[in-house]
Amino acid sequence: MAERGLIIAIDGPAGAGKSTIARAVARRLGYLFINTGAMYRAVAWKALQMGVSLDDAGGVGRLAYDSLIELTGEVDSMRALIDGRDITSEIATPQVGQAASIVSAIPAVRRALVARQQEMGRAGGVVMEGRDIGTQVFPEAEVKIYLDASSEARAQRRFAEDTERGVAVASLEQMKAEIEERDHRDKTRADSPLTQAEDAIYIDSSAMTIDEVVEKILKIVKQK
């Protein structure tokens, strides 16, 4: 039987560098990269677009079940589509990030998206990043990383990223406050809160470069 690629789960709070690092690891291994945050963002974007209240658990849950969410393209040019429409740049805003954090607390939304993520990653050879990959989506993942960083470091990175992307940015202080608010919501929600899986390896990236983190993860993968 052909050897199946590994499932590499990378979880952690907003701005810890998960996407950049997961993408780099996937590129180096020739693996699929799946950014699950984009799927929660897509649901939030559509709810905002359709005027469905983010607090309407039934309405947003139905919307998540009824929408076709696709992540397509190569590792470095991934696009997010909902019902065939490319919304990659629309979902990259801090507003959609906050809205995604709100809708991601709705159990029906999580059930719909987790089932799709399991389908997408089941064959292995995948780096999947999010909040609950090592705990809920793939508790059996061969490699689990919990990527953390101080809220100061994360606010600074998000600030630099958003400036580069040209999305309207708030002050650094406001960014830090928003990150802390999102952390609090993501870590205290009843359904699948952000926590480190018992068997995950903890990496604090505050004082590390992207390359250092990527090399560290590749070393862990090699040992498997």
Residues that bind ligand DC (CB under 6 A): 14, 36-37, 40-41, 97, 100-101, 104, 130-132, 182, 186
Rounded Cα distance, 169 and 108, in Å = 32
- Of 154 and 221, the one with the shorter C-beta distance to ligand DC is 154
CB of 143 to ligand DC, least distance (A): 16
CA-CA distance, 92 to 98, in Å (whole number)? 11
Q: How far is the CB of 104 from ligand DC (least distance, A)?
A: 3
Residue 176 CB coordination number (10 Å):
20
Give min distance, CB of 111 to ligand DC, in A: 12
70 three-state secondary structure: strand
Least separation, in Å, of the C-beta of 44 and ligand DC? 8
If phi > 0 it is left, if psi is from -120 to 50 it is alpha, else beta; for residue 41 that is alpha
**Which CB sits closer to ligand DC, 44 or 221?**
44
For the chain, where are the alpha helices, taking DSSP H only?
18-29, 36-50, 57-66, 94-103, 107-121, 151-165, 172-188, 210-222
Quick one: 116 or 208, whose CB is closer to ligand DC?
116
Nearer of residues 29 and 116 to ligand DC, judged by Cβ: 116
**Rounded to the nearest whole angstrom, what is the least distance from the CB of residue 82 to ligand DC in the complex?**
14
Taking the least distance from each CB to ligand DC, the nearer of 62 and 185 is: 185
Nearest residue to 199 via CA among 118, 114, 134, 126: 134
